[in-house]
Amino acid sequence: MGNKQTTFTDEQLEAFQDCTFFTRKEILRLHGRYRELAPHLVPLDYTNNPDIKVPLALIVTMPELKENPFRDRIVETFSEDGHGNLSFNDFVDMFSALCETSPRELKTIYAFKIYDFNRDSFICKDDMKRTLNKLTKGELTPEEVTLVCDKSIEEADLDGDSKLSFSDFENMVSKAPDFLSNFHVRI
């Protein structure tokens, strides 16, 4: 390979390349981005797989995530402990699942997890209200929010339990024309 780098062993880079949608160069660039979030915390040398986690508060300052109303939920979904502290593996995993070449099925699964605020594997009315409030920055009145959520559940709920299971969600998203183009983060 071209330039000598000591961040990862070749074997590690190969593994990353196969397990994610990124090339070697992109993985190294991602490591650079990860490191600049917390330079005192993240070592330059990852050959021995150090167990370092960057906290949520630092990750959501990234320009790719800063303006996203769901940034907290995205980071929490991909974190192992559920509180948003990402190791480098989780970091790469997150951007890989959200990148342009990631397939629709994968994105649907993660979108469902992101919108499921209380993590009960259903998007209930409360989850939807929180989604809506994040989306409109709280500018709709509570009655309007209730109306919109009721109509939304009515449209998407197929099994009649007044909350969205994964298959309801998947069915709804499969008909949406701009899900794939909207639901990706470019890094």
Residues in 76-105 that interact with another protein by CB under 8 A: 80, 89-90, 92-93, 96, 98, 101-105
Tokens describing residue 183: 């639901």
| 167 belongs to the binding site for another protein (CB under 8 A) | yes
Answer yes or no whether residue 130 interacts with another protein by CB under 8 A.
no
Task: Yes or no: say if 145 and 125 are a contact pair by the CB < 8 Å rule.
Answer: no
Name which of residues 110 to 129 contact another protein (CB under 8 A).
111-113, 115, 119, 121-122, 128
Interface with another protein, residue 15, by CB under 8 A: yes
Provide the CB-side half-sphere exposure for 51 (13 A, CA). Answer: 1
* Measured distance CA(166)–CA(112) in Å, rounded: 7
Helix (H) or strand (E) holding 36: helix 24-37
Q: What is the residue whose two structure tokens read 């994968």?
A: 106
| Residue 133 touches another protein, criterion: CB under 8 A | no
Cα 41–36–33 angle (5° rounding)?
A: 120
Residue 51 C-beta: closest distance to another protein, Å: 11
- Nearest approach in angstroms of CB 43 to another protein is 18
E-state strands within the chain? none
Interacting span for another protein (CB under 8 A) from 1-9, 33-41, 52-60, 146-154: 146-154
Tell me which residues in 52-71 interact with another protein (CB under 8 A). 63-64, 66-70
The smaller minimum CB distance to another protein, of residues 35 and 128, is found at 128
Using the 8-state DSSP alphabet, how is residue 126 labeled? H
